[in-house]
Amino acid sequence: MKNIHRNTFLFTLLSLTLLLTLLLNISFGQVSIPVKEVFKSLFGGVAEKDTWEYIIVNFRLPKSITAILVGVGLSISGLLMQTLFRNPLAGPYVLGLSSGSSLGVAFVILGAGLLPAVFSQFLLSSYGIILASCMGSLLVLLLILIVSQRLRDTMSILIVGLMFSSFTGAIVSVLSYFSTAEQLQKYTFWSMGSIGNLSWQNISLLTLSIVIGLGISLLTLKSLDALLLGENYARSLGLNIKKARYNIIIATSILAGSITAFAGPIAFIGLAVPHLSKLLFQTSNHRTLFWSTILIGAIIMLFCDTVSQMPGFEFTLPINAITSIVGAPVVIWLIVRKKSIQ
Helix, strand or coil, per DSSP, at residue 240: coil
What CATH number did the domain enclosing 47 receive? Answer: 1.10.3470.10
Give dist(CA 56, CA 51) in Å, integer. 9
pLDDT tens across the length of the chain (342 residues)? 667 888 999 999 999 999 999 999 999 887 888 888 888 888 877 778 888 888 888 889 999 999 999 999 999 998 998 888 777 777 766 667 777 878 888 888 877 666 666 667 777 676 777 777 777 877 877 787 677 667 766 667 777 777 877 888 888 888 888 888 877 887 777 777 678 778 888 899 889 989 999 999 999 998 888 888 877 788 887 888 888 888 887 888 788 878 887 888 887 888 889 988 988 998 889 999 999 999 999 999 999 999 887 666 677 788 878 888 887 787 777 667 665 544
Distance (Å, whole) CA 206 – CA 13: 27
- List the domain range (segments joined by +) for residue 79: 1-340
Nearest to 217 by CA among 84, 342, 66: 84
> Can you tell me whether residue 30 is helix, strand or coil?
coil
DSSP string, 17-50: HHHHHHHHHHH-SSS---HHHHHHHHTT---SSH
Taking alpha carbons only, the member of 291, 284, 278 closest to residue 340 is: 278
Under 8 Å CB-to-CB from 156, ≥6 apart: which residues? none
Considering its fold, how many domains does the chain have in total? 1
The Cα–Cα gap between 116 and 109 comes to: 14
Cα separation, 214 vs 221, whole angstroms: 11
Identify the DSSP state of 31: S
